[in-house]
Structure 1
Amino acid sequence: MEENATVLPDILEVQGFDISPEFTYPLFFLLLFVYSSLLFSNIGVLMLIITEKSLHQPMYFLFCNLSVNDLIGNTVLLPRLMTHIISTERFITYNQCVAQAFHSHTFGSAAHMILIIMAIDRYVAICHPLRYSSIMTTRTVIGLSASAWGVSLVLVSVLIGLTVRLSRCKSVIQNAYCDNASLFKLSCDDVSINNIYGLFFTVLLFTCSIGGIGVTYIRIALICWMRKSKELNNRALQTCTSHLVLYLIMLWSGFLTIILHRFPKYPDLRKIAYILFHIVPANLNPIIYGMQTRSLRDKITQILQGKVRAI
C-alpha cells in the first residue's frame, strides 16, 4: 500500500516545545497568569460596557468586538497549550485540531479587520468631531463589525476547507498548536492549491490591513499638520499612539509566524512568535484602550474608589 493511501487513526501527536524539566512548571504558571489576567481584564471591560448605560455608544461596541475576539482566540489556544506543557503525552483528535486552527486563523484575521474599523473611528473622531455622532452611528458600527467578522469567517472557511479535503499520511503536528500550515503538512498530496490560496489570503489580509490603517493615519497626520492646532495634535497623539503600537506588535509577530513556517530550522522561534501574537495584544488592549478612553477610565476609577471606601 502506498504511503499516501495509508489509513491513519483520528489521533494526532503534537510536537510541542522541548522544555527542560526545571522550566516546565515555571512556564506553565507564567502562561496561567497571562491567561488569567487577560480573562479578568477583557471580561471586566465587557461587563462594564454592558452594565453601564452611559457606555452604550458605538465606540465602546468596537472595544467589545476586540475583547470578544481576544477571549475566543486565547481560550482556543492557551488551555490546551498549558496542558501539553505539563503532560508527557501530547495528543489531540483531528477534528479538535481543525477546530483550533479555524478559530485561531479567524482570531488573526478578525483582529486585523477590527483594528481597521477602529482606525476609521479614530479618524472621524479626530478630524470630524462635530460630525462623529452622525457618521459613526450604532447601525454603522454594527454593520462594519458584522462585515469584519463575516469576511474573516468566509476567508478562513475556504482556507481550512481546502486543507480538510486532503488525505493524511502523517500523524504528527510539527508545532505546539494547530494551524493551517501544520495541518496540510500532514498530507502527502499535492498542496499547491493550499499554498496559492494561503498566499492570496495573507496578501489580501495584510494589504487591506496595512493599506487601510496607513491611509487613515496619513490623513490624520496631514490634517494635524495643516491645522497646526496643539489641542488637535495632542488628541491625535494620545489616541493614535497606543492603537499604532499594538497594531505593529500584532503585525510583526504575525509576519514572523508566516515567514518562519518557511524556515524549519527555527521551530521554537515560530511557536513563540505565534503565542506572542495571541497574548500580547489581548493583555494590552483592555489596559491601554481602557485607560486612554476618558469615559471608560472614569468608570473604572469610580468602581475602584467605591471598593476602597467599602474596605
Structure 2
Amino acid sequence: MSNWTQVAHFSLGGYSEPGPLRWFYFLFILCAYALILSSNLLLVALIAVSRSLHQPMYLLLCSLFVNEVLGSSALFPFLLHQVLQEEHIISYSLCYLQIFCIYLYACVEVFTLAAMAYDRYVAICRPLRYHALMTRGRVALLLCGTWSVPAAFIAALVWLSAALPLCGNVIDRVYCGNYAVVKLACSSTRLQNIYGLFYMVLQMVLPLLLILYTYGRILHVCLSAPGRARHRARLRAAGTCVPHLSSLLNFCLGCCSQVLMSRFDVSWIPAALQVTLSLYFFTCQPLFNPVIYGLNLRQVRQELQRLSQGHFS
C-alpha cells in the first residue's frame, strides 16, 4: 500500500532526442495530418452535398471518413506538441481521454467495416430485397450502433483502468495506451484483464468473424452463378468488395502491430522502428481509405468531377 503514488501526469518514454531533425519531424507530421484531414473531410462534404450519394454504402463510408478524422485528431496534434518539447509528459485526465478516443477509433473502424460488409452482402446476395432491408431507418440504426456500442464499452474499460492505484507514471510509448497504464498498477488487475478479454472478443473478434462470413457468402454466390452471369457477378463482386477487403487487411495489420507491441517485449526492435509501427495504424488507414474509396469508386469520382465544376446532383 505504501508504494501507491498520486499520479498527476504520465511521462512518455517512447521519445528520443531528435536533435536538429526536430523541425523536420514536426513538418512531416503536420503534412501527414493536413493530408488526412483534407482528404477525409473532402469526401465527407462530397457525400453530404451530393444527393446521388445519399445511399447506404456511401453513408457508411461517410461514417468511416469521420472516424478517420477522429482517430488522427486524437494523436497528431498531440505529437506535434510533444515533438517540440524537451520533457514529454501528459496529464492524467488527458491520458485517459486519449485512450478513450484511440480505442473508440479502432472499434468504430471495425464496426463500420462490418456494417459495410453487411451492406455488400445484401446488395449482391439479396438484390431484390436490398431496398426493403437497407431502409433509411436501418441505416440510421447501423450508424448509431457503430458509434454508441463501442463508446459505452470503452467508457467502462477506461473507468476500470482509472480506478487502479498506480505505482509509477512512466509509459514507454509516444502516446497513452490502456494496457501500458494497467501495467503500472499496484493492485490486482484481474477484473481489468477479464473485461479486456471480453471487450476484445465482443468489439473486435465478432465483427471480424461477421465480415469473413459475409464475404464468404458473397464469394459462394458469385461462384455458383450460371454461365455468363457468373462472369458478371465476379466483376461486380471484385469492384465492390476488393476495396473493403483491402481496407480490412490494412486495418488488421495495424491492429496486430498494436497488440503485439503492447503485450510483448519488443525491446529487440530498434526504437525508431517501434515508433513507426506504433503510428502505422493512425497514419496508413486514414490515408488509405480515402484513396481506395475516393479514387477507386466510379460514382465518387464522378461526383468529385461535378464538385470541381460547381455542379451537385
Which string of whole-angstrom CA distances, capped at 9 and with x for unpartnered residues, describes residues 127-184 of structure 1? 2333222211111111012112122012111211110111222122221101211222
**Structure 2: runs of 5+ lacking an equivalent:** none
Which string of whole-angstrom CA distances, capped at 9 and with x for unpartnered residues, describes residues 198-254 of structure 1? 122223333212211110111011000000421110111121112111111111221
Q: Which residue of 1 aligns with 2:109?
A: 111
**What is the distance in 2 between the residues matched to 1:291 and 1:128?**
27
Q: Which residue of 1 aligns with 2:263?
A: 262
Native 8 Å contact 1:62 1:114 kept in 2:
yes
Q: Which residue of 2 aligns with 1:29?
A: 27
Distance 1:274 1:201, change over 3 A: farther
Distance 1:180 1:232, change over 3 A: same
**What is the distance in 2 between the residues matched to 1:155 and 1:7?**
26
Moved more, 18-27 or 252-261: 18-27
Q: Which residue of 2 aligns with 1:211?
A: 209
Which string of whole-angstrom CA distances, capped at 9 and with x for unpartnered residues, describes residues 255-282 of structure 1? 2211222223337455433321122111
Q: Which residue of 2 aligns with 1:300?
A: 304
Correspondence 1:122 to 2:123: no
**What is the distance in 2 between the residues matched to 1:53 and 1:250?**
29
Q: Which residue of 2 aligns with 1:2?
A: 2
Q: Which residue of 2 aligns with 1:146?
A: 144
User: Is the partner of 1:177 in helix, strand or coil?
Assistant: coil
Correspondence 1:75 to 2:76: no
Native 8 Å contact 1:163 1:194 kept in 2:
yes
**What is the distance in 2 between the residues matched to 1:57 and 1:79?**
33
Q: Counterparts of 1:42-121 in structure 2 under 5 Å? A: 42-121=40-119
**Percentage of pairs with the same residue:** 32
**What is the distance in 2 between the residues matched to 1:75 and 1:218?**
35
Native 8 Å contact 1:159 1:194 kept in 2:
yes
**What is the distance in 1 between the residues matched to 2:6 and 2:38?**
44
One-letter amino acid matched to 1:215 = Y
**What is the distance in 2 between the residues matched to 1:200 and 1:252?**
21
Structure 2-normalised TM-score? 0.91
Moved more, 203-212 or 114-123: 203-212
**What is the distance in 2 between the residues matched to 1:192 and 1:37?**
42
Structure 1-normalised TM-score? 0.91
Q: Which residue of 2 aligns with 1:291?
A: 295
**What is the distance in 1 between the residues matched to 2:25 and 2:59?**
34
Moved more, 104-113 or 149-158: 149-158
Native 8 Å contact 1:261 1:270 kept in 2:
no
Which string of whole-angstrom CA distances, capped at 9 and with x for unpartnered residues, describes residues 52-105 of structure 1? 222222222101110111111110111101221222121211000110001110
**What is the distance in 2 between the residues matched to 1:141 and 1:271?**
38
Alpha-carbon distance, 1:19 to partner: 5.1
User: Is the partner of 1:3 in helix, strand or coil?
Assistant: coil
**What is the distance in 2 between the residues matched to 1:244 and 1:32?**
29
**What is the distance in 2 between the residues matched to 1:133 and 1:23?**
55
**What is the distance in 2 between the residues matched to 1:112 and 1:224?**
25
**What is the distance in 1 between the residues matched to 2:252 and 2:35?**
22
Alpha-carbon distance, 1:26 to partner: 2.7
Structure 1 runs (4+) greater than 4 angstroms displaced = 267-271
**What is the distance in 1 between the residues matched to 2:225 and 2:305?**
34
**Structure 1: runs of 5+ lacking an equivalent:** none
Match of 2:134 among 133, 136, 140: 136
**What is the distance in 1 between the residues matched to 2:260 and 2:201?**
13
Q: Counterparts of 1:178-257 in structure 2 under 5 Å? A: 178-228=176-226, 229-257=230-258
User: Is the partner of 2:266 in helix, strand or coil?
Assistant: coil
